[in-house]
Structure 1
Amino acid sequence: MPISVNGQQHAFAGDPRTTLLDFLRRECGLTGTKKGCDHGQCGACTVLVNGQRINSCLSLAVMHDADEVTTIEGIGAAGSRSPLQDAFVRHDGYQCGYCTPGQICSATAMLGEIDAGWPSFVSEDLEAAPALNDQEVRERMSGNLCRCAAYSNIVAAILDVAGESA
């Protein structure tokens, strides 16, 4: 069974109990996605599947036949960073860096959700386009924890990329 990861096909014929996280790290050699809690509570393993963010530790690899999985390596690399990666550097939103790949994957999807007009728990008007502000970003990123507490810097980086002021 092939799984498309960052635009490349990777064969999966392993144990059906293998998580997507372990497949990405062990079989694909993509170690940017981190194993944090292994219970879906920290967000360090966040990747994009068909443009939507998921906790890869809670998803089995066999579930992703014909899906497009994007990891941090597919968002940008050292020589060609994405605007979010650049903003995380500018705003010191990475601190130790362990949660950063999941934060950036989650923020990438979050900006797509805003563009699509998806409301969140703190959206004041469910019919209008969501206003991207500090409170909205914090709510939408609440599934990604940072032990270094770089939250204000992460929010500033996201707002910077979205064209808002922090």
Structure 2
Amino acid sequence: MAKVSMTVNGKTVTREVEGRTLLSTFLREDLGLTGTHIGCDTSQCGACTVHVDGQQVKGCTVFALDVDGADIRTIEGMANKDGSLSVIQQAFQDHHGLQCGFCTPGMVMAAASLLAVNPKPTEAEIRHHLEGNLCRCTGYHNIVKAVMAASGQDVGSIAAE
């Protein structure tokens, strides 16, 4: 066991973990932040996407000890300070960018990462950025629409599928 400390959604946490504990497992089991989903444990689906020091990371690919001292943001940290949905979360709701919801936390985190570096992405750029996040329900159309809307762009230009 080893001690790990990090800031998660603005709060400093310190815990004892085994060296093999994945960040996604640490967030879910040690901190109770179950919004970070575990879908495949092989970095294929993106459901466990979080931000580590502002960078998009799949939580199942990183050991908790490797992010000692880091600033972690999970889906639970995406809401506004008053508890209302962030612009991205609201866009996903408004444009039906979810169905079963399993991929949604990872998609929202990926979208936030994209919009942080490219505030007005094209449809093609959004689709390319989301390639590492799988959705088995929506066909991505409304997810792309939601990201476009969150960026303040007109979603009417996205062709119906």
Question: Above 0.5 in TM-score?
Answer: yes
1:44–1:103 contact (8 Å) kept in structure 2: yes
Between the aligned partners of 1:90 and 1:64, the Cα distance in structure 2 is 34
Q: TM-score, normalised by structure 1?
A: 0.87
Q: Secondary structure at the match of 2:51?
A: strand
CA deviation digits over 1:83-130, x for unaligned, max 9? 000000000001100000000011001111215xxxxxxxxxxxxxxx
Tell me which amino acid in the other structure corresponds to 1:36: G
Q: Which runs of 5+ in 2 are unaligned?
A: 156-161
- 1:41-88, Cα deviation, whole Å (9 max, x unpaired): 000000001111000001000011111000000001794110000000
The equivalent position to 2:42 in structure 1, one of 24, 39, 44, is 39
The whole-number CA distance in structure 2 between the counterparts of 1:33 and 1:150 is 21
The one-letter code matched in structure 2 to 1:60 is F
Matched, 1:109 2:98: no
SS, match of residue 4 in structure 1: strand
Q: Which stretches of structure 1, 4 residues or more, deviate above 6 A after TM superposition?
A: none
Matched, 1:73 2:73: no
Structure 1 position 2, deviation (Å): 1.1
Gaps of 5+ in 1: 116-130
The CA distance in 1 between the partners of 2:83 and 2:6, in whole Å, is 26
One-letter amino acid matched to 1:138: R
- Letter in structure 2 aligned against 1:67: A
Question: C-alpha separation between the residues in 2 aligned to 1:132 and 1:42?
Answer: 22
What residue number does 1:137 align with? 126
Matches of 1:40 and 1:148 in 2, distance apart? 19
| Counterpart in the other structure of 2:33 | 30
Give me the identity figure in percent. 43
Secondary structure of 2:131's counterpart equals coil
Matches of residues 1-166 of structure 1 in structure 2 within 5 Å? 1-76=4-79, 79-115=83-119, 132-166=121-155
Q: Judge conservation of contact 1:12–1:62 (CA < 8 Å) in 2.
A: no
- Corresponding residue number in structure 1 for 2:159: none
Larger strand share, 1 or 2: 2
The letter of the residue matching 2:96 is D
For 1:150 and 1:83, the matched residues in 2 are separated by: 22
Once the two structures are overlaid, the 10-residue window that deviates more, 80-89 or 143-152, is 143-152
Supply the RMSD in Å over aligned alpha carbons.
Answer: 1.5
TM-score, normalization by structure 2: 0.89
AA aligned opposite 1:44? A
Structure 2 CA distance for aligned equivalents of residues 158 and 139 of structure 1: 12
Aligned pair count reads: 151
Letter in structure 1 aligned against 2:146: A
Judge conservation of contact 2:49–2:56 (CA < 8 Å) in 1.
yes
CA distance in 2, matches of 1:149, 1:100: 11
